[in-house]
Chains A and B, each alone.
Chain A
Amino acid sequence: MTALPPFQTVLDDHSAAVMAILQGAVGRDSADDCFQETFLAALRAYPQLGDASNLRGWLLTIAHRKAIDHHRARGRAPVPVAEVREVAVEDGIPEHDPGLWAAVGTLPPKQRAAVALRYGSDLPHSEIATALGCSPEAARRSLHEGLKRLRKELA
């Protein structure tokens, strides 16, 4: 087990990556709010974190959750339109399937983060790699392994 470093170190080392991911996921205007929520949630949970070996993956998973919360909140807010459509729209956004996301939640951290960043935040492999602090090849592999496990679990 790695000792938890001072939280300031976590901020210093990962704030740029978290901001980059959030700007990609929710846009520049909302990224600041999600950034604060991410680091406050991280700070609240930090003393209970058992393992400091993948702090970046941990933070990005939280950031991703905050991005989804943001999209959900926006999705619930009424959008003014000229004409109300009569047919319900099913756009197939993955977070509408709670069973699927519960399964994603059981993946190992790297795979979970890779899947979340790819399909939740719609990031390309290169940015997932930056976020996870690994090579694009390793990011692709984590994603692939994660998807394989999900298929098996949900089959």
Chain B
Amino acid sequence: MTTATERSIGLAIDKVRAQAAAEGLLDVAYATADSPFGPLLLARTERGLVRVGLPNQDAEELLADLAARVSPRVLEAPGELDEARRELDLYFAGKLDRFDLPLDWRLSGGFRQRVLRAINRIPYGQTRSYTEMARKAGNERAVRAAGTACGSNPIPLVVPCHRVLRTGGALGGYGGGLPMKEGLLELEGVLDGKGTS
């Protein structure tokens, strides 16, 4: 049960959050969102979506990491993530094949960012190999580094690293676990549900 004091604290916190947003003090706004695979953590800056935490990732650790790498002004502000949540809901319902969200790439630098930007151009329902991604990023021989870039993708789902497979079609890895990668590829009609392409 909520006491009157807890309620008034809740209301006062809402006002702090609204005023912080109005004053441009919400350096990192975050919220959780439901997905068929479990709860997601969504975080954005004034530039755009900066982090998507998958269900198997520790939300507290992700927030501490954002505090250290972006800004310690990290506040829960669900309203700021409404559009991201809406597009993800549509995506999971199979009704959206392209995200239209501003992205903040600052958590990845150099080669990794180039790999992720290349991944971001893979169309819905298609797959590419790690080798192709390495080539697109400017270094065909850096296949292993391309794999690492996928593994460290700070904005999974929206930047569709699940569409990158090993040459020959083996699934490779996934930060959210292989069953989730399979599930996403089934959703997009790449896999037939039996784990083969």
Q: Is the interface of B mostly helix, strand, loop or mixed?
A: helix
Number of residues of chain B lying within 8 A (CB) of chain A: 26
Binding site for B on A (CB under 8 A): 3-9, 11, 15-16, 19-20, 32, 35-36, 39-40, 43-44, 46-47
Q: Are B12 and A6 in contact (CB under 8 A)?
A: no
Contact of A40 among B8, B25, B63 (CB under 8 A): B25
- Chain B residues with Cβ under 8 A from A46's Cβ? 72-73
Given known contacts A4-B67, A6-B63, A43-B25, is B9 in contact with A15 (CB within 8 Å)? Answer: yes
Q: Are B12 and A8 in contact (CB under 8 A)?
A: no
- Chain A residues with Cβ under 8 A from B23's Cβ? 40, 44
Q: Are B12 and A32 in contact (CB under 8 A)?
A: yes
Q: How far is the CA of A40 from the CA of B15 in the complex (A)?
A: 10
**CB-based nearest B residue for A16:** B9
**CB-based nearest B residue for A23:** B5
Given known contacts A16-B9, A47-B71, is B64 in contact with A6 (CB within 8 Å)? Answer: yes
Interface residues of B in 70-93 (CB under 8 A from A): 71-76
Q: Are A8 and B19 in contact (CB under 8 A)?
A: no
Given known contacts A5-B67, A19-B8, is B73 in contact with A47 (CB within 8 Å)? Answer: yes
Q: Are A19 and B9 in contact (CB under 8 A)?
A: yes
**CB-based nearest A residue for B10:** A15
Q: List 14 A-B contacts (CB under 8 A).
A: A3-B64, A3-B68, A5-B67, A5-B72, A6-B28, A6-B64, A6-B74, A7-B72, A9-B63, A15-B13, A16-B5, A35-B12, A40-B23, A44-B23
